[in-house]
Structure 1
Amino acid sequence: MAEHKADPERTGSSPRALGATVRTLAETLWFPAFFFTGFLVCYLLPFHNPVPHHVDVAVAGPTAHQLGQALEQQRPGAFDVHQVADAQAAHDAVTDRAATAGFVPDAEHPRLYVAKADGYSLEAVLQKTFTGVAQHSGGTLQVHEAAPTAPGDGMGTGLFYLVLACTIPSYISVMMLLRATTLGRGRKVLTLVSVGVVESVVAFLVARSMDVIPDDLLAVPLVFLMTQAVALTSYGLVPFCKQFFPGVAMGLFVLLSMPSSGGAIPVQMVPGFFRALHPVMPMGNLIEALRGLFYFDGKDVWRHTLVLCAWVAAGAALIALGAWKERRAARKAAPGAAEEAEPAEPPVEDPAFELPQPCAVAPHQHRVGLPDPGLTGQVTDEDGRPLAGVAITVTGAHGRELVRALTDGRGEYAAAGLADQYVNVIASSPDRLAAVARIRVRDGHPVRHDVRLASRHVPA
């Protein structure tokens, strides 16, 4: 009886097979692992037990120093107290955004000026803290809203959800446009701008209809700037981050932006790392700009607008740099300089939205939802008659087969989903001489390559 030995390569027990499996799992699961860790660190950490950090309080009168020392002993690092002249100055400090709260330590009627526009949870902490201060002095605290929110924004978080509704779709728009290989860079940028216009107008109208925000149309261009800060920067990062782009973009505009925005949890109540990010991230700057516009007489709107403009400019610069990089690579990969060509860059892969794979499609039979061909052509004989059943093979820069198709009854073929690169198109038939050509496939510029095949049999 013949003895059969197990093949370690087939059973997967060899070190090489195990290494390949580990590598495949790492390449497949890195993004969910990154997202899982990111949510634990960036959401559970700052939101599980929010406490105040260095909340500015303007205190009227000479007792400010003593009150500051008492609060520091009770809650170290929670409040920064500074003295103002009188009750009106304490109120104005809140409306001018020079302080988060204003306190008037009157023996009989102590007053606390707060701004619900800065967040309901912060207001609740301030009321609880200074209710205790007032009771210790024998008085009953009177709370005055110096900057109330719109009637439909009872929790003071409406701006956060308005901004969130425009942030994530801006990133997703980039991911979906990466699938549109028939659109060039210019049309994709124009599409992102158009989507931003629609998002900002619709978001404003919906929020206004729900009475979540006041009626101020200047909010529309501010929201539009934020959509472009996210969309253009994300699109500009694609050629530099390659397959890691989803993690980089989601890390920037979701994992880091939301906790540091000060929208869901006031920025004064999150850890120091996120407080440090607050002045530079687009989401937080839009929320602060809208707060200033709606509730604080335009205070510091210009400063936050400049930060948003800087993000838009950075995105535009990245896109321009990516275009230059592509042209430089194309010159090196031009016919006649193949030996000097850089290795082909892998297409960006999004773990949430699968990019189109190269495939053969039927010529002249395109429907909504199906990919449009980026490469088409016709194969004919020496006399110009179409040749059916000719094999068309498209290979990449290193000879890897991308698409294989057969010409139809009219000698035509079509292929879709090809990335921006140089490809080799090989036309072959058993009774004819094969033809090979090097073709540049570009996003937004469908290429037609016709082939004429000569017969293998030389006439007598």
Structure 2
Amino acid sequence: MRSSLARRTLGVAVGAALLQLLMITAFCWPAARTAPRDVPIVVTGPGSAAVAQRLERERPGAFDVAAVRDEAAARAALTGRDAYGAIVTTPSGPKVLTASAASPVVAQQLDALARGLGGGAADAASPAVQDVVAADPDDPRGAGLGALALPLIMSGLAAAVLLTFAVPAAGWRAPGAVAFAVLGGFGAAGVAQGWLSLLPGPYVELAGAMALAILAVTGAVAGLAAVVGRAGIGLGGLMFLLLGNPLSGATSAPELLPRPWGEIGQFLPPGAAVTLLRSVAFFDGAGAGRPLVVLAAWAVGGLVLLTVGGLRGRVRDETARDREPALV
């Protein structure tokens, strides 16, 4: 008996230590390896080809440079979320355009790039830098928006756990998940926009984006639990917290994370939610298509799993009733 307990205790300790290492790796590794990797920018003007060659020579692999016809097209690329920045060459010298709303970290790197184009000195010879789509003035570094993703995911997980244990019928967990997502989305948007002033943009659209993100997490985790049991909760936590959250690019940008993890993170609810919120809040919905599809797919998939779990539970109940001895 004692030897069995000793082995179990040791197994739990080893498992917890491995989980700790996994958590440290998941959260610290992307942050420690943050660097530009094919960050899309555009160039235009008579000296744009020379600028592109210089960037490739001095920062190989850092930027994915595309040429556009003029400054208006460069600005459109930024407002349409096709690029993070632009370099406009003119007879009087280059000009750098940024979009800190898309990523304050990338905007800071482009500021440094502008100083490099001007010879590295912050003087009159340095290119002018203009923030075309600026971050919220109350959250200029994007720290608040980046921090918003984690509570949305954690509250969605908590709701899935509560629904799983408090609502016996899996079929009734689906309307519970939808109700929580709607209430949580409108409540979170009210706090983020009205009180904390983290996000501009239309309130209803922001609330809808948050509600969809919450439903993607709550529905998926509750659905997994309905089909595979309590292990589904652990699986959802691993996917969304240990994998999705550090790979979301919420505090930097997907292109700054190690490959291919930044791209993978955009197919999980945390990354898709942050991208969608940026698009709705700052870019009039530009670039919202893919994150909308990703979140909707997770939400619908979760509701389908809840429906399957409800049908299986109903069949089990009917089978159990049929096996009960008839009363004479």
What is the TM-score normalised by the length of structure 1?
A: 0.64
1:99 and 2:83 are equivalent in the alignment: yes
1:295 and 2:295 are equivalent in the alignment: no
**TM superposition shift of 1:45:** 0.8
Counterparts of 1:152 and 1:79 in 2: how far apart (Å)?
Answer: 29
Match of 1:196 in 2: 181
1:247 and 2:234 are equivalent in the alignment: yes
Match of 1:87 in 2: 71
1:314 and 2:301 are equivalent in the alignment: yes
Counterparts of 2:31 and 2:175 in 1: how far apart (Å)?
Answer: 38
Distance 1:136 1:211, change over 3 A: closer
State how 1:200-219 maps to structure 2 within 5 Å. 200-209=185-194, 210-216=196-202, 217-219=204-206
**1:154 alignment partner, one of 132, 137, 140:** 140
Match of 2:291 in 1: 304
**TM superposition shift of 1:328:** 4.8
Task: Report the structure, 1 or 2, having the larger helix content.
Answer: 2
**TM superposition shift of 1:227:** 0.7
SS in 2 for 1:264: coil
**TM superposition shift of 1:34:** 5.2
Gaps of 5+ in 2: none
SS in 2 for 1:105: strand
Q: Deviations over 1:239-258 (max 9, x none)?
A: 44435334311111112221
Indicate conservation of the 8 Å contact 2:42/2:87, yes or no.
Answer: yes
SS in 2 for 1:179: helix
Indicate conservation of the 8 Å contact 2:80/2:287, yes or no.
Answer: no
Which stretch of the first structure deviates more once superposed, 134-143 or 275-284? 134-143
Q: Deviations over 1:130-150 (max 9, x none)?
A: 310222799312110111122
1:26 and 2:11 are equivalent in the alignment: yes
**TM superposition shift of 1:304:** 2.4
Counterparts of 2:198 and 2:223 in 1: how far apart (Å)?
Answer: 33
Indicate conservation of the 8 Å contact 2:169/2:310, yes or no.
Answer: no
Distance 1:136 1:119, change over 3 A: closer
Match of 1:323 in 2: 310
SS in 1 for 2:126: coil
% identity of equivalent residues: 25
1:125 and 2:122 are equivalent in the alignment: no
Counterparts of 2:111 and 2:268 in 1: how far apart (Å)?
Answer: 29
1:271 and 2:258 are equivalent in the alignment: yes
**TM superposition shift of 1:335:** 6.2
**1:280 alignment partner, one of 234, 244, 267:** 267
Query: What amino acid is aligned across from residue 227 of structure 1 in structure 2?
Result: I
Counterparts of 1:39 and 1:265 in 2: how far apart (Å)?
Answer: 19
Query: What amino acid is aligned across from residue 259 of structure 1 in structure 2?
Result: P
**TM superposition shift of 1:37:** 2.8
**2:249 alignment partner, one of 248, 262, 279:** 262
1:185 and 2:184 are equivalent in the alignment: no
Higher relative contact order (CA 8 A, sep 6+): 2
Query: What amino acid is aligned across from residue 212 of structure 1 in structure 2?
Result: L
Q: Deviations over 1:183-242 (max 9, x none)?
A: 433443333222222211111111122221114121111111111110010001114443
**TM superposition shift of 1:321:** 2.1
Match of 1:110 in 2: 94
Gaps of 5+ in 1: 1-8, 337-436, 439-460
Counterparts of 1:215 and 1:63 in 2: how far apart (Å)?
Answer: 37
Distance 1:244 1:25, change over 3 A: farther
Match of 1:170 in 2: 156
Q: Deviations over 1:394-425 (max 9, x none)?
A: xxxxxxxxxxxxxxxxxxxxxxxxxxxxxxxx
**TM superposition shift of 1:75:** 2.3
Indicate conservation of the 8 Å contact 1:165/1:203, yes or no.
Answer: no
**2:29 alignment partner, one of 34, 41, 45:** 45
Indicate conservation of the 8 Å contact 2:254/2:266, yes or no.
Answer: no
**1:78 alignment partner, one of 62, 67, 75:** 62
**2:221 alignment partner, one of 205, 214, 234:** 234
Task: Report the structure, 1 or 2, having the larger strand content.
Answer: 1
Distance 1:26 1:331, change over 3 A: farther
Q: Look at both structures and tell me which one has the larger radius of gyration over its CA atoms.
A: 1
SS in 1 for 2:251: coil
